[in-house]
Every structure is written in C-alpha cells, then in structure tokens.
Structure 1
Amino acid sequence: MDVTFIDETNQVSEEKIKEIDDLLQFAADYLKLPEDTEMSVTFMDNAAIQVINRDYRGKDAPTDVISFALEEESDDEVPVVFEDGDDPLPRNLGDIMISIERAKEQAQDYGHSYDRELGFLAVHGFLHINGYDHMNPEDEKEMFGLQKEILDAYGLKR
C-alpha cells in the first residue's frame, strides 16, 4: 500500500512516520487490501484539526482523528470507480488527519504511551476509510473489535 505522509507540524520524526507506515501496512495486509491501494495521513495540531472539524462536521472543537473516505458516497454523489477498463486506477481509500497534540493529551489521560495512542488513532482512521463505523452499537462492536485485533496482532497493546 502506498501511504503519503504530510507533517504540517514538523514535529513527527521520520522514525515515527516509519512506525505508523509499518502499522498501516500491517493493517492493510490484515484486511487483505490490494498492494496498489493508496491513502494519505496528515499530522497536524489542534488548531488545524479544529478548523476541519468545524467546517466538515459542524463541531467547533479540536478532535483526535478525522477521516475522509474517498469511496464513501452520499445520495447526490457520483460513485468513484477504480476498476473500469484495461488499466484500472489504484484504489484510493482517502485521507486521515491526526492531531498530534490530542494524541499526546489522550495518551496522558488514558495512561498509555504516545506511540500506542498515535497507532490507535491511525488504525481507527484507517478502518473508517475502509467503510467501518461506530454509529450504532452493532457497528461499534464490529469496528472496535477489529481495531483491537489489529493492534494486538501487531503488538501495540495498552
């Protein structure tokens, strides 16, 4: 899987980006995604993610992770098709935005490492752009169960 990383904060080390890339590659293999799948991860601060949260979700507060699934469509949208023709385009899952400030705050609040929180948020956003959600108890059980399976199998436990 091809993951494009953007660090708007200039605070995420190359090593940390490599760790998140390894985790997302593991998650992609876990879900058996095609190798030519693409996605992006942007690291930002609370102020930047608050603007996105306000503009796209109507919530004027910083959040930890926001995902935009490219394959998700509403009733008035035209579906994005990747498999047509002899030379199909790679599957582009979408974009994940993570507030590293919120990740640090939540790691402290939850009593685990920043690495664990950042990994958790990356997998959480990754599952969202793969169609998983937690809007009702049944979906939440499925998504959070899969999230825990992936993190545990990778070795990133609380």
Structure 2
Amino acid sequence: MIYVDNRQEKIDVNDDIIRGLEDTIAFALEEEEVTIPCEVSLVFVDNEEIKEINKENRGIDRVTDVLSFPMLDYPERKVYKECYKDKVFDETFMDGDQLVLGDIVLSLEKAEEQGKEYNHSFQREASYLVVHSVLHLLGYDHMDEEEKKIMRRREEEILDKLNIKRI
C-alpha cells in the first residue's frame, strides 16, 4: 500500500504523476525482492517545508530534494533482501498485515528545478528521487564511495527496466 499526501501547492499534482510514482515505488520494491505486503508513505512538499524537515531531522539548514525515513534497522552494508527477505516481523513493524517500510518526503519544487538543471523531464527526476528513497528505505546508503556505486547502479537498473530514461 502506498499512501500519498500532497502538502504543497507549487506544483500541480495530477493522477498521472501520482500513478507513475506509485508504480515506480511498487516496481522498485518488487525488484528488491520485497514479497511481504508493505506500506510506504509518499509525502509531497515544497522547498520551504523540506528545508525545515531537513533542519529538524538532520541538522542541515538547506533545501534538499528527497528525505527517507526508514522504519527498519539494517546492519552495516546490508539491505532488505539480505536481512529480512524471509523474516516474519512482530507487530512493532506491522500495520495490520502490512510491513511499514517508512516515509518518503519529496520536494516536487526541487524535483522540477533539478529536472530542468539536468535537462530531463520532471517525471524522470521525480521517479529517480523516489527510487533513490525506496532504496534508502531498504537499507542502501551512499556514505562512502563503494556504497554510492552500488546504490547508483541499482537506481539506474531499476529506472532502465521501467524505461525511464534521461532525455
């Protein structure tokens, strides 16, 4: 289940945008072998709100494009499919029969800016950011160069399979 909450008014959000991002999230989860029914929240914000969330949660007083708030803990350099693929979770991590993976907070305003900056579509940029965030929810990180290479490769593999290309 993917919950979408639009908390901004700067970018027009239509059903095609929502459906596209929901499909992208679902596909990324499938590609990462998440077989248990799960829950992800996707929250749309503007630059001002994501800056405030970034400051409150990370101590970084600047605008960012996407923030991920995973609910599961991962051992260093391990991801969902290496840790939890066949695990039965206790109710702490469940909402009914759904595993709560976490929240994605996406600045649509920043996604639009970056799409223009990188010379590709808004949909491609938003999809990339959502895949990036899903991978964070599943334990990927990019704090060192090795992890960054692995994560970037997975992002591009997933987007390529979805036929979401740079324009």
- For normalisation by structure 1, the TM-score amounts to 0.88
Tell me which residue corresponds to 2:80: none
Provide the rounded CA distance (Å) in 1 between the counterparts of 2:134 and 2:89.
21
What is the Cα deviation at residue 73 of structure 1? 7.2
Tell me which residue corresponds to 1:19: 20
What is the Cα deviation at residue 23 of structure 1? 1.0
Q: Do the aligned residues in 2 keep the contact of 1:67 with 1:129 (CA within 8 Å)?
A: yes
Provide the rounded CA distance (Å) in 2 between the counterparts of 1:27 and 1:125.
10
Q: Does 1:92 align with 2:91?
A: no
Q: Give SS of 2:165's match.
A: coil
Provide the rounded CA distance (Å) in 1 between the counterparts of 2:30 and 2:68.
20
Provide the rounded CA distance (Å) in 1 between the counterparts of 2:73 and 2:5.
22
Tell me which residue corresponds to 1:37: 38
Tell me which residue corresponds to 2:84: none
Q: Give SS of 2:114's match.
A: helix
Provide the rounded CA distance (Å) in 1 between the counterparts of 2:20 and 2:51.
26
Q: Do the aligned residues in 1 keep the contact of 2:67 with 2:104 (CA within 8 Å)?
A: yes
Q: Do the aligned residues in 1 keep the contact of 2:74 with 2:139 (CA within 8 Å)?
A: no
Q: Which runs of 5+ in 2 are unaligned?
A: 76-86
Percent identical residues: 37
Aligned length: 150
* Alpha-carbon displacement from aligned partner over 1:67-109 (angstroms, at most 9, x marks no partner): 00011379xxxxxx96248x98421110000001100100011
* Alpha-carbon displacement from aligned partner over 1:16-72 (angstroms, at most 9, x marks no partner): 100101111111111111241111100000011011000111111111000000113
Comparing 26-35 with 115-124, greater Cα deviation is found at 26-35
Provide the rounded CA distance (Å) in 2 between the counterparts of 1:22 and 1:48.
25
* Alpha-carbon displacement from aligned partner over 1:124-156 (angstroms, at most 9, x marks no partner): 011001100000011101111001000001100
Tell me which residue corresponds to 1:68: 69
Provide the rounded CA distance (Å) in 1 between the counterparts of 2:56 and 2:89.
32
Provide the rounded CA distance (Å) in 1 between the counterparts of 2:73 and 2:61.
23
Q: Which runs of 5+ in 1 are unaligned?
A: 75-80
Tell me which residue corresponds to 1:49: 50
Tell me which residue corresponds to 2:162: 154
> Which of structures 1 and 2 has the larger relative contact order (alpha carbons within 8 angstroms, sep 6+)?
2
Q: Give SS of 1:50's match.
A: helix
Q: Give SS of 1:124's match.
A: helix
Tell me which residue corresponds to 2:7: 8
Provide the rounded CA distance (Å) in 1 between the counterparts of 2:110 and 2:160.
22
Match of 1:113 among 121, 134, 146: 121
- For normalisation by structure 2, the TM-score amounts to 0.84
Provide the rounded CA distance (Å) in 1 between the counterparts of 2:150 and 2:74.
21
